[in-house]
Amino acid sequence: MSRVRFNAVLITVVAFALVFSTYGCGKLSISRLRANHHFIAGNKLFTDLKYRDAIDEYEKALKLNPKLGTAYRFLGESYKSLYKVGSTTPDNQEKASKALEALTKGYELEPNNKDIIYSLGDMYDKLRQFAEAEKFYLKILDLEPGNMDNYYVVAEFYKRYVGEKPEIKAKAEAMYLRRVETDPENIQGYAYLANYYDQIMPVPDFEKAYEYHKKRLQLQPDSAELWYTIGVNRFQKAYRLQNFLPVAERKKLGDDAEKALLKSIQIDPSYPEPYAYLKILYVNVQCKLYPEKEARYSAEANRYGEKFTDMRQRQLDRIRLERELKKAPR
């Protein structure tokens, strides 16, 4: 879950807690009012990234109101935030255990709470417990079968395991394809699928990625970012598979990469990244494939490298100016 989305969820939860503490059904007991007080205090500490202090507040809230499912969720999130992926120290393993314990209790109280389900899947994923993680990620689909964004969540989960579990590849593809088939005019679906093929391990499927980049191109023919992405795709195949491809095929890939990157610059001359990749392309592919043109390609590489530095600095200056304007009094 992105930080922006997570914060939005958190704001909703805090609002719910405030409403509950004020307008709960019937007469609220003193213990429940105190529980809500500690819960709200825990949320404030959580947003301030003070997870250890937040844990104390959530535990106090749950002692007073053991049925406060959302408090279990954020107690688990707090332990999860303190957990260090890959560390096998007893203290770290205890954090993982307590995170799972709290989230599981929250799930038992609120079995249809998507955020708790997602968090359990995420925690098992961090622990590399694939079967348990998959169970909870699939529950998200069962809970909201019409929410197509959920298919991306599950697909990205599967993608993380393709390198070590080749049989998972078909599951990941099915999730991406289902999203694309549901809304074939949505460019984001093709972007996700192309990105998946470009990044799968141990060897990306460059041609399948290219196929979906081209489908996206039909919907976005004037996208500088897309032409840049296509250029990178063609370069990566030529470079990473240089010991396996015939020279003629590598030359075509290099030439196609150059054309795509130049097209990106033509559409948006202020876009820095294509300049950087042209330098990389000339040095690592074109100079080797066309030794008779090495001097020209080296000179071009230096020129585009300088251009990239200039464009990136302008971009950073523009971002800094925009931030300063936002802060300026009106």
Q: How many CB atoms lie within 10 A of CB 320?
A: 10
List the Cα angle 72/78/82 in 5-degree steps. Answer: 145
- Rounded CA separation 70/18 (Å): 13
List the Cα angle 17/20/22 in 5-degree steps. Answer: 110
pLDDT at 16: 47
DSSP assignment of 187-216 equals HHHHHHHHHHHHH-SSS--HHHHHHHHHHH
| 148 has a pLDDT exceeding 90 | no
Helices (H) and strands (E) in the chain — how many of each? 16, 0
pLDDT at 149: 83
Question: What CATH superfamily is the domain 7-83+94-145?
Answer: Tetratricopeptide repeat domain (1.25.40.10)
Name the residue ranges covered by the structural domains of the chain. Answer: 7-83+94-145, 154-221, 222-330
Supply the mean pLDDT for the chain. Answer: 88
pLDDT at 187: 86
DSSP assignment of 297-309 equals HHHHHHHHHHHHH
| 275 has a pLDDT exceeding 70 | yes
pLDDT at 28: 54
pLDDT at 119: 95
What contacts 80, CB < 8 A, 6 or more positions away? 95, 96, 99, 103, 119, 122, 123, 126
- Rounded CA separation 148/153 (Å): 9
Q: What percent of the chain has pLDDT over 70?
A: 91
Average pLDDT over residues 226-249: 96
pLDDT at 20: 46
| 8 has a pLDDT exceeding 60 | no
- Rounded CA separation 29/315 (Å): 57
Average pLDDT over residues 286-298: 94
CATH topology for 154-221?
A: 1.25.40
| 15 has a pLDDT exceeding 60 | no
Does this chain's domain 7-83+94-145 share its CATH topology with 222-330? Answer: yes
Choose among 115, 116, 114, 136: nearest CA to 125.
136
Confidence of residue 21 (pLDDT cuts 50, 70, 90): very low
Confidence of residue 327 (pLDDT cuts 50, 70, 90): confident
**One-letter amino acid identity for 6?**
F
222-330 has CATH 1.25.40 classification:
yes
Q: CA dist 220 to 23, 52, 206, 215, 266, Å?
A: 50, 48, 20, 9, 15
**pLDDT tens digits, one per residue of 76-117:** 999 999 999 989 999 999 999 999 999 999 999 999 999 999
Q: CA dist 106 to 25, 120, 299, Å?
A: 21, 10, 62
Residue 163 token pair: 């390198």
- Rounded CA separation 144/148 (Å): 9
Choose among 24, 19, 68, 73: nearest CA to 46.
73
Average pLDDT over residues 203-209: 92
| 272 has a pLDDT exceeding 50 | yes
More confident residue, 182 or 274: 274
pLDDT at 156: 87
| 150 has a pLDDT exceeding 50 | yes
Contact 75, 101 (CB under 8 A): no
Confidence of residue 2 (pLDDT cuts 50, 70, 90): very low
Q: How many CB atoms lie within 10 A of CB 263?
A: 18
Furthest-apart CA pair in the chain: how many Å? 87
| 12 has a pLDDT exceeding 60 | no
**pLDDT tens digits, one per residue of 179-201:** 888 778 888 888 888 988 998 87
More confident residue, 232 or 196: 232
What contacts 230, CB < 8 A, 6 or more positions away? 210, 213, 214, 217, 260
| 37 has a pLDDT exceeding 50 | yes
Average pLDDT over residues 161-174: 84
More confident residue, 183 or 130: 130
Confidence of residue 11 (pLDDT cuts 50, 70, 90): very low
Comparing 28-42, 50-64, 213-227, which segment has the lowest mean pLDDT? 28-42
